[in-house]
Amino acid sequence: MTQRRQFLSTSALALGGVTVAPHLTPTTEAAEMTGILKKGVKFSMVKEPDLSILDQFKMLKEVGFHGTELRTDNHTDFKTYREAVDKSGFPVHGIVNSDNPDLETAVKFASDMGGDSVLYVAKYDRKRPLMESWDETIAVIRTGLAAAEKHQVKILVENVWASFLISALDMERYVDEVNHPWFGAYFDVGNNVRWGVPQHWIEILGDRIGKLDIKEWNEKKHSSEGLRQGFSSPLGEGTIDWAAVRTALRGIGYKGWATAEVGGGDRTKLAEISRRMDQVLGLV
């Protein structure tokens, strides 16, 4: 039996005053996930260069997000970001480390920022046998587990488009092979649709899921306009069955962060993303 621990968190806020597409009006399931999901945003999505870091944090809070994620590279400006958190009351809930093998630095940065996770991408060298990448990336993860346990920051592997960990069963096996309470899955709802069904992944992974990334997928655009166009629809205007996703999340007892990873922009654009997240995630 593997050892796993869920992240528990509460609170959700609804944002008003933003025009929403007609098909995104509240349904009878409105507010079903309030108090269950916390709405995050990648800080790299913010395109407000005339604002200070502190004012960018305040702006994200004002448009309805509950927290953000920085990247490991941001640790060189730690003092600035830490001050922004302290003065705005807007938390950094995690660090995106991509496939950087230096997990100890990322874990320490997450802890210093008050976050509780590091997103890790398992790198796949497609010119070599698959199991070599499997074993090597697991070895990298193991180098960070002592720091993860010390700082109580979970390392979470994400399903991405590297044609690696492309099924829920792959991810399940990968997490279980590491078999550590401070390791789990960072499940990207949109990334898996090329190969699978989000709600099925959620059902299989269960409490292995530490956090969620949120993006849309449109199978019709993928089929007619090309692979990358599958991601071009705004949240709520694609083919993901968000009601089924919410049902699956409730079914596994998930509580925690759901973070937007879509094309960003200025305050107006980010407010729209925030409102769309409220709708697809059942927060209003």
pLDDT of res. 8: 33
pLDDT of res. 2: 44
pLDDT digits (tens, 9 = 90+) for 41-92: 999 999 999 999 999 999 999 999 999 999 999 999 999 999 999 999 999 9
> Is the pLDDT assigned to residue 117 strictly greater than 60?
yes
pLDDT of res. 220: 75
**Better-scored residue on pLDDT, 223 or 134:** 134
pLDDT digits (tens, 9 = 90+) for 184-203: 999 999 988 888 899 999 99
> Is the pLDDT assigned to residue 157 strictly greater than 60?
yes
pTM for this model (two decimals): 0.88
In the chain the domains, ranked by start, together with CATH numbers, are 22-280 (3.20.20.150)
pLDDT digits (tens, 9 = 90+) for 1-50: 444 433 333 333 333 333 334 344 444 444 899 999 999 999 999 999 99
pLDDT of res. 29: 46
pLDDT digits (tens, 9 = 90+) for 225-278: 766 776 778 999 988 999 999 999 999 999 999 999 999 999 999 999 999 999
Pairing of strands 92-96, 67-71: parallel
Mean pLDDT of the chain: 89
pLDDT of res. 6: 39
pLDDT of res. 240: 94
